[in-house]
Amino acid sequence: MDSGMGKMANAMTVDVEDYFQVSAFENTIHRDQWDSIPCRVEANTDSILQLFDEAGLKATFFVLGWVAERYPALVRNIVDQGHELASHGYAHKRALLQTRDEFYQDVGRSKQCLEDIGGVEVVGYRAPSYSISKKNLWAHDILADCGYRYSSSVVPVNHDLYGIPDASRFPYRVSEGRLLEIPISTVPVAGRNFNCGGGGWFRLFPYGVSRWAIRQVNRADRAPSIFYFHPWEIDPEQPRVEGAGMKSVFRHYLNLSRTMPRLQRLVRDFDWVPMKDAFSEHLKHDAL
């Protein structure tokens, strides 16, 4: 999609979850502990909303149902400020670790919760940790059955936690055409796809790498790029979780203090819109 000013409009997305809910800590902090841990997600998301308001951009917020139930005002703020409300599931349990029935209950509960609080239809979904792989492609059918119109849950890379390396780098139809899968942006380098969509990669490499990669997707592929991050990534003062493995600690805490300054550059360097607008041409052809 072109913004009308000669620049490609890319998709800005935020996965709204708190620091203690990430998959990296799923074996360290159990879900029955969540309600006893002080939350930071509301304040961090408010800071993101302020950043976006100052930059004049709209984004898609994939909100966890657990967060929405406890912070309904935050959900309403997202909607009232003109952003797209989408689902990140309810309990941040990776889809790969759920049975079909558990997944159906999770994504259905999340959609209903968000729609009841936000007062808008929720058509987009993103799996926790991009956990739709070749092992559970049935998840697409369940999402379509629940009324979602698109998913952004596949990354076409090799990774120890997620990925379908040979998946298309661009939107494609699944579930007999009922659902649009919009994979996270990658750039091909030396025969392999590299994630350029944000998250830990945005914190690991210098900002110029992300800027170059997004431009590559826009110019070489003539396609919108998707960028994602989490509210906890702008919060270097968050409590340190004890007992997690070294890899998890490295991935989670790396360069947290650099995220916000880099985001401030990113929102200036590119045009940003919600997912439903960046990929509106693809969504027009929904097979209903």
Domain ranges of the chain: 9-283
- At 161 the pLDDT is 63
N-term to C-term CA, the chain: 23
- Other C-beta atoms closer than 10 Å to the C-beta of 153 total 26
Q: Could you list the beta-strand ranges (E) of 203-244.
A: 226-229
13: CB partners within 8 A, 6+ apart: 59, 60, 61, 62, 126, 152, 226, 227, 228, 275
Q: Among 275, 273, 276, 231, which residue's Cα sits nearest to residue 256?
A: 231
- At 244 the pLDDT is 86
Low-confidence ranges of the chain (pLDDT < 50): 1-6, 287-288
CB 224 within 8 A of CB 10: yes
**The dihedral sign for the CA sequence 277, 185, 23, 253:** negative
Which tokens go with 106?
């999770």
Q: What is the CA radius of gyration of the chain?
A: 18
Say which amino acid occupies 148.
Y
- At 203 the pLDDT is 94
120: CB partners within 8 A, 6+ apart: 79, 85
Task: Tell me how far apart the alpha carbons of residues 114 and 118 are, in angstroms, rounded to a whole number.
Answer: 6
CATH classification for the domain delimited by 9-283, as one of 3.40.1280.10, 3.20.20.370, 3.40.50.300, 3.40.50.720: 3.20.20.370
- At 15 the pLDDT is 98
For residue 31, the 8-state DSSP code is G
For residue 135, the 8-state DSSP code is G
Report the interhelical angle of 100-118 vs 72-80 (nearest 10°). Answer: 70
167: CB partners within 8 A, 6+ apart: 154, 156, 183
Task: Tell me how far apart the alpha carbons of residues 113 and 76 are, in angstroms, rounded to a whole number.
Answer: 12
For residue 241, the 8-state DSSP code is P
- Using DSSP, state whether 89 is helix, strand or coil: coil
CA angle 157, 159, 160 (to 5 degrees): 160
**The dihedral sign for the CA sequence 237, 56, 49, 150:** negative
